[in-house]
Amino acid sequence: MSAISLKGVELEYPNGTVGLRGVDLDVEDGEFVALVGPSGSGKTTLLRTIAGFLRPTAGTVRLGSQVVAGAGRSVPPEGRGLGMVFQQHAIWPHRSVGRNVSYPLEMAGVPRSDRSRKVADVLDMVGLSGYENRNPATLSGGQRQRVALARALASAPHALLLDEALSALDEPLRDRLRLELRTLTRAASLTVVHVTHDRAEALALADRVVVLDGGAIAQVGTPEELVSQPASTFVARFLSDANLVDGRVGDGCFDADEFPFRVDLTRLGPTTPGRGTLAVLPGDIDLTPATTDGAGIVMSSLFGRDSSDVIVTQHGKDFRCSVRGIRPAVGDRVSLAVRRALFYPAPSEVDGERPTDMSCADALKVSG
* DSSP letters for 83-133: EEEESS----TTS-HHHHHHHHHHHTT--HHHHHHHHHHHHHHTT-TT-TT
Q: Which of 153-162, 218-227, 291-300 has the highest mean pLDDT?
A: 218-227
Q: Which helix (H) or strand (E) holds 143?
A: helix 141-153
pLDDT tens digit string along 16-31?
A: 999 999 999 999 999 9
d(CA 231, CA 156): 37
Look at residue 325 and give its three-state secondary structure. Answer: coil
Q: Is 189 left (phi over 0), alpha (psi -120 to 50) or beta?
A: left
CA angle (255, 311, 263) in 5-degree steps? 20
CB proximity list for 117: less than 8 A, separation 6 or greater: none
Q: What per-residue confidence (pLDDT) applies to 357?
A: 54
- What is the average pLDDT across 291-306? 88
Q: Per-residue pLDDT for 351 more than 60?
A: no
What is the pLDDT confidence band of residue 266, given thresholds at 50, 70 and 90? low
pLDDT value of position 269: 43
The CATH class that applies to domain 4-228 reads alpha beta
Given CATH 2.40.50.140, say whether it is the number of domain 241-365.
Answer: yes
Residues 106/92, Cβ–Cβ less than 8 Å: no
Domain extents in the chain: 4-228, 241-365
For residues 98-103, give the mean pLDDT: 93
Q: Given a cut of 70, is residue 352 above it in pLDDT?
A: no
Residue 275 Cα distances to 232, 256, 293, 343, angstroms: 15, 10, 29, 10
Residues β-bridged to residue 246: 277
Length of the chain counted residue by residue:
368
Sign of CA dihedral 55, 56, 62, 68: positive
Q: What is the pLDDT of residue 292?
A: 77
| Range with the poorest average pLDDT among 95-99, 236-240, 344-348 | 344-348
Instruction: Please report which confidence band the pLDDT of residue 362 belongs to, taking 50, 70 and 90 as the band edges.
Output: very low
Residue 41 DSSP code: S
SS3 of 46-85 = HHHHHHCCCCCCEEEEEECCEEEEECCEECCHHHCCEEEE
For residue 174, the 8-state DSSP code is H
Average pLDDT over every residue of 205-217: 96
* Angle, CA of 214, 212 and 238, to the nearest 5°: 100
The separation between CA 124 and the C-alpha centre of its own chain, rounded to angstroms, equals 29
* Dist. CA 194–CA 121, nearest whole Å: 24
In this prediction, what percent of the chain has a pLDDT beyond 90? 59
Specify the amino acid at residue 13: Y
What pLDDT, on a 0 to 100 scale, did the predictor assign at position 43?
96
Over residues 324-346, the mean pLDDT reads 91
Q: What is the pLDDT of residue 89?
A: 66
What global pTM score does this model have?
Answer: 0.85
Q: What is the C-alpha end-to-end distance of the chain, expressed in Å? A: 60
- Name the nearest CA neighbour of 180 among 154, 43, 188: 188
pLDDT at 354: 52
Going by pLDDT thresholds of 50, 70 and 90, the confidence category of residue 368 is very low
Mean predicted confidence (pLDDT) in 142-164: 89
Mode of pairing for the β-strands spanning 262-264 and 308-314: unpaired
pLDDT at 113: 85
Question: Model confidence over 32-89: pLDDT tens digits?
Answer: 999 999 999 999 999 999 999 999 999 999 999 999 999 788 999 989 999 998 877 6
What average pLDDT does the segment 291-295 reach? 78
Over the chain, what is the mean pLDDT? 88
Strand partners, 63: 4, 66
